[in-house]
Amino acid sequence: MLRQLEKLSLEADGRYATAAELQFLKNYLATAEQRISAYEKIRDAQETIIEQVDQQLCSPNPHIFRKGNQDYTAVCQRDRRSVLRLAAAAMLFADLDALRDGFLLWYRTIIKAFKDEKAARVTYQVLPTVVNQVLGAEEAPLMTPVMALTQSILGE
């Protein structure tokens, strides 16, 4: 949204913005209230979400975050918190490109380097369901594309 907005303001410097160009602002406006309330719900429920994901992952496989003698539960929790926060921000600003280019593609290299693909796959399978539980029926669809993007980059 921010990128489109900045582009539009540059265009509108030299000529008037057309009706079609103003449409995206109207579209964003139509969902903005739900975006803000979804963002606030995720913000306020972040610890619950993180814990629930943990429980769902660890009950079938208690050692999922263990490598050799080390337990990486805490590191994975920290990373999951970042993913959730950045995903919520991408939903709020309707800016999936920035999430992909600024975070997900980099984080994918980390996952691969540490051979964490399996844990990542189940994590980002479970996360969307848990997130949806804290959102209302109108808010959940706004988060779906972000979660799908996250899953497609981190979980495959």
Choice from 88, 135, 143, 147 touching another protein (CB under 8 A): 88
Closest approach of Cβ 118 to another protein, in Å?
A: 28
Residue number, 85 or 108, with CB nearest to another protein: 85
Q: CA distances (Å), 95 to each of 71, 86, 146, in order? A: 34, 10, 9
Q: Does 137 bind another protein (CB under 8 A)?
A: no
Q: Does 110 bind another protein (CB under 8 A)?
A: no
CB contact set of 10 (below 8 Å; sequence gap of 6+): none
Cα 140 from chain centroid?
12
Choice from 38, 39, 96, 155 touching another protein (CB under 8 A): 39
Question: Near another protein by CB under 8 A, which window of 40-48, 59-67, 108-116, 118-126?
Answer: 40-48
Q: Rounded to whole angstroms, how far apart are CA atoms 132 and 148? A: 13
